Amino acid sequence: MPGIRRNWIADLPRKALVAAILIALAWICLSLGGAAFWLLICVASILMMAEWAELARAPRGAKRIALYALVVPLAILAPDPIAAGPSWLVLGLIGGATIFVGAVTRHPQLALGIPYVALPAVAVLWLRELPGGLAIAFWTMATVWATDIGAYFAGRLIGGPKLMPRVSPNKTWAGLIGGMAAALLVGLAFNERFGVPIELVLTAPVLAIIAQAGDLYESSIKRRAGVKDSGTLLPGHGGVLDRLDGLVTVAPAVALLLLLKGLG
């Protein structure tokens, strides 16, 4: 146990540096909005799809087809006047791309990667376009980051019973509670500083659970694939899927919540 603890403490500087760079990049592109943010989302989505294809053990040709199919809805997501931006049309294209990839490659798991990657892209771009969307979109991302950080430190420092040991042996109930608390605290700060509606902020603990569910789902896929990380692009963090697995579930959840409440 002391050796394990020393290892994760020694790895913190590298993790923190990479995380800081990613957060800064996200904030810059999010602040610029428009084509800059769309381009960032496109790059992340394509990298995620490539990692998904590897986890699905898809042949190279099938992987190429899936990437080409994903490009179609991503292109339509480009802001006006380049393209239509987030719309119901894009959702139809995502469904069509999913069916196309499944039919052509006969690889259902590969095809499921299309909505897994594209729906969060639609959600976060739509959030950015809302009135006050800069704060809401950034709060959505910050909720996921806070959940990850709170869960990481609470799980490492407190330990205790495992959450789902067969899926992710390192996750604990203490980590989940720590992530929920961190998400709520960050949400309250966003309410105070940026005016994010309190009714959204109070959903942060539930969103933290949704984020952890997304993390666990990706962990189950990696376990079936027999790998520890989805990739090696981000030192100390694994792949892009590893870093964004919580946002994959949280962004659509926030978008759905706003639609149901008529806040969008």
The whole-number pLDDT of residue 65 equals 98
Block means of pLDDT (10 residues each) for the chain, 264 residues, are 50 81 94 96 97 96 97 95 90 97 97 98 96 95 95 89 87 94 97 94 97 94 91 85 95 95 67
**Extents of the domains making up the chain:** 1-32+130-264, 40-127
To the nearest 10°, the Cα dihedral for 53, 56, 62, 65? Answer: -40
Contacts of residue 248, Cβ cutoff 8 Å, sequence gap at least 6: 116, 117, 120, 214, 218
Q: What is the pLDDT of residue 3?
A: 45
Question: Assign residue 248 a region: left if phi > 0, alpha if psi is -120 to 50, beta otherwise?
Answer: alpha
User: What integer pLDDT is reported at residue 9 of this predicted model?
Assistant: 60
pTM of the predicted model as reported, rounded to 2 decimal places: 0.91
